[in-house]
Chain A
Amino acid sequence: MTDERGSIIYLEDVTVDFDGFKALRHLNFIVNYHELRVVIGPNGAGKTTLLDVISGKAKPQSGRVIFGKDQDLMPLRENQIASLGIGRKFQTPSVYGNLTVWENLELSIKRESKGVFSTLWAKSTPGEAERIDGALVTIGLAEKRSVRAGALSHGEKQWLEIGMVLLQDPTLLLVDEPVAGMTDQETEQTGQLLQSLADKHSIIVIEHDMEFVRQIARTVTVLHEGTVLCEGPVEKIQSDPRVVEIYLGRKKEKASASERVN
């Protein structure tokens, strides 16, 4: 994966079928190295499913999923994909509520082996402790290192999880609705954090909040009913009549039940 030309993730003709319901249909999706890509789309468009496919949680019925130059992700399990360098932050914050902030980070850090027995004897090396300290500063939780994660606020949990994913040292970062439930100020800070990470990592961010999208986005992909509706710079996307329509259409749908935009 030293060859940094070309794409870091490449999806070709991917279809995911949940008992007859196609969450993704013949999807093509490419992200290049050092790209910060935002994916938007109405509820149920298949955004989370797209991340599920990349991270191994959902297995497509057809298509190809290639990481880096030629690493096929289809046959791998979630933890194997994570070890390859794909980190994922979930839509609802998932942290270990009964462990301290420090322990949460300590478990997440990238390590040669994460098997039962090597972990039984493992101790953090000074280098690892330093990295954890660094992450604590990045996510603004240095003061709360020995607080149980369950006692953190919603926004702090979101950040903690971002910190955990960062310590996995991923080349590709998948971030699902990071600012849901955050205050304006927290949203802004999260945006800055993601942008600062984009120098070193490739990032895919899923977001609903258009304000936030404008803040961070370079290229935006719009998903709709399991396929890519359009793709391009954020200004172009915003003024694209089809995009306006699905977002407006969604509002109309709520008002008057049946009228469906196709």
Chain B
Amino acid sequence: MTGQGRESGEGLSFWLVGFCLLIVLPILNVLPEAGSWLHVSDFTLNLFGKFLAFAILALGLDLIWGYTGILSLGHGVFFGLGAYAIGMHMMLSIGTESVYGSALPDFMVWNQVKELPLFWQPFYSAWFAVVAAVLVPTLFAALFGFLAFRSRIKGVYFSIITQALALSAWLVFNRNETNLGGTNGLTDFKTLLGFRLSESGTQRGLYVVTVLCLGGAYLLCRWIIRSRTGKVLVAIRDSEQRVLFSGYSPANYKLFVFVVSAALAGLAGALYVPQVGIITPAQIGVLPSIEMVIWVAVGGRGTLVGAVLGSVGVNLGRSVLTNHFPELWPFFLGGLFIAVVLFFPEGCVGLVRKVSGGWLSRKRNGDELDKSVAASEPGSR
């Protein structure tokens, strides 16, 4: 998996892509006048910011699914916890600028809630909200994962209970009694940390922060998979039993990777919500959770680059398609997923590798050509 040449090439492309996203794009947003072909509009930049937030989530999902072989269908929940945490803070920052002019969020006035619920109180503090956006999904995943992995729930069963988790989170967030805005979610945000969200400078800043977080998340994931713990994760995917009988506790490793991926999902949600301006239960339920898996599948699971490419690519396709043929998108997404599963299970990255495999393998003494051979060892006793 590691070749000297490949590694330095990867490092180079990391800095190159980072430079483009972090410096070039924002400059093209600011300097050329609108209308110039070089100009990147506020809208486009904002769109990319959203995609890159998704990419952070996809990295974590790839860590647990692509590398460790555990399919979670509940990552929308962790994304949602992060998004709602920041959303709650921004709701409170609206203050009396709201439609009803009350210090309470509009939906509470509408629902005749007289007093701010206790669990909303700490979200007046921005720092509390930022910390909670990552910590709440982390702790929640730790609890959920501890129970699931300790009772050795695996494979399809794990996927099903995470899906059930997504469903119940969706139900809970939809209820007005939960005091999180019900079906309409949280929206109409005005400011974040004193900056007005409607200003393009604020959005540009959020974009830059997102790029930085994505870079950090990428480096973190790369560090993990290159460490020996990362090798244990791949080993769990290949033969969990062997790992167990070699003195490791697979449950602890799974819990670790589940928690890391949940934290990344929370971070993604936190970055998403101020850029998009709304978070509703519809964005965290069963379907979005499945869609997240599709991003990774399309990009190529088991490669970090694939996760990033997949989430940006699929979402780009979505915004193009939904602009022109909104009713086609679900079919397109479904078709894409089936195509990936049937024809190129290693995703786009795998496809590219296969196509360029001829000369690449000659260059690398052919030790990586048949990646598909051992995709899964039969479970053995």
B111 at the interface (CB under 8 A from A): no
A224 at the interface (CB under 8 A from B): no
Evaluate contact between A103 and B231: CB separation under 8 angstroms: yes
B114 at the interface (CB under 8 A from A): no
B35 at the interface (CB under 8 A from A): no
Evaluate contact between B373 and A151: CB separation under 8 angstroms: yes
A35 at the interface (CB under 8 A from B): no
Evaluate contact between B256 and A116: CB separation under 8 angstroms: yes
Mark B340-381 against chain A: 1 for CB-CB distance below 8 A, else 0: 000000000000000000000000000110110111111011
Chain B residues, CB < 8 A from A123 = 228
Evaluate contact between A97 and B228: CB separation under 8 angstroms: no
Chain A residues, CB < 8 A from B242 = 90, 94-96, 161, 164
User: Which of B224, B371, B374, B380 has the most chain A CB within a 10 Å cutoff?
Assistant: B374
A98 at the interface (CB under 8 A from B): yes
B322 at the interface (CB under 8 A from A): no
B246 at the interface (CB under 8 A from A): yes
Chain A residues, CB < 8 A from B284 = none
Q: How many A-B residue pairs have CB under 8 A?
A: 124
A120 at the interface (CB under 8 A from B): yes
Q: How long is the Cα–Cα vector from A168 to B244 in the complex, in angstroms? A: 12
Given contacts A82-B246, A116-B252, A164-B242, contact A96 B370 (CB under 8 A): no
Evaluate contact between B380 and A97: CB separation under 8 angstroms: no
Within 8 A of B (CB), among A97-154: 97-100, 103-104, 106-108, 110-111, 114-116, 119-123, 146-151
B237 at the interface (CB under 8 A from A): yes
Q: How long is the Cα–Cα vector from A105 to B229 in the complex, in angstroms? A: 14
Given contacts A98-B374, A120-B224, A149-B374, contact A107 B235 (CB under 8 A): yes
Q: How long is the Cα–Cα vector from A77 to B283 in the complex, in angstroms? A: 41
Q: How long is the Cα–Cα vector from A122 to B227 in the complex, in angstroms? A: 8
**Nearest Cβ in chain A — how far from B197, in angstroms?**
38
Evaluate contact between A164 and B377: CB separation under 8 angstroms: no
Evaluate contact between B229 and A120: CB separation under 8 angstroms: yes
**Nearest Cβ in chain A — how far from B378, in angstroms?**
7
Chain B residues, CB < 8 A from A77 = 249
In-complex Cβ contact of A150 among B232, B248, B252, B374 (8 A): B374
In-complex Cβ contact of B234 among A93, A96, A106 (8 A): A96
Chain B residues, CB < 8 A from A95 = 238-239, 242, 377
Chain A residues, CB < 8 A from B107 = none
A32 at the interface (CB under 8 A from B): no
In-complex Cβ contact of B244 among A78, A104, A115, A121 (8 A): A78
**Nearest Cβ in chain A — how far from B253, in angstroms?**
6
Given contacts A98-B237, A106-B231, contact A90 B377 (CB under 8 A): no
B325 at the interface (CB under 8 A from A): no
Given contacts A79-B245, A108-B246, A151-B374, contact A96 B228 (CB under 8 A): no
**Nearest Cβ in chain B — how far from A149, in angstroms?**
7
Within 8 A of A (CB), among B219-270: 224, 227-229, 231-232, 234-235, 237-239, 241-249, 252-253, 256
> Which residue in chain B gives the minimum CB-CB distance to A58?
B381
Given contacts A90-B380, A99-B238, A116-B256, contact A79 B228 (CB under 8 A): no
**Nearest Cβ in chain A — how far from B302, in angstroms?**
8
Evaluate contact between B244 and A96: CB separation under 8 angstroms: no
Q: How long is the Cα–Cα vector from A103 to B241 in the complex, in angstroms? A: 17
Q: How long is the Cα–Cα vector from A107 to B373 in the complex, in angstroms? A: 21
Q: How long is the Cα–Cα vector from A247 to B381 in the complex, in angstroms? A: 24
A88 at the interface (CB under 8 A from B): yes
Chain A residues, CB < 8 A from B374 = 97-98, 148-151
Evaluate contact between B381 and A55: CB separation under 8 angstroms: no
Q: How long is the Cα–Cα vector from A96 to B248 in the complex, in angstroms? A: 14
Evaluate contact between A106 and B377: CB separation under 8 angstroms: no
Evaluate contact between B378 and A107: CB separation under 8 angstroms: no
> Which residue in chain B gives the minimum CB-CB distance to A161?
B242
Mark B54-91 against chain A: 1 for CB-CB distance below 8 A, else 0: 00000000000000000000000000000000000000
Evaluate contact between A92 and B380: CB separation under 8 angstroms: yes
Evaluate contact between A116 and B377: CB separation under 8 angstroms: no
Evaluate contact between B380 and A91: CB separation under 8 angstroms: yes
Which residues from chain B sit less than 8 Å from chain A, CB to CB? 1, 224, 227-229, 231-232, 234-235, 237-239, 241-249, 252-253, 256, 367-368, 370-371, 373-378, 380-381
Q: Give me the 5 closest cross-chain CB pairs, A-B, nearest first.
A: A150-B374, A97-B374, A92-B380, A96-B238, A94-B239
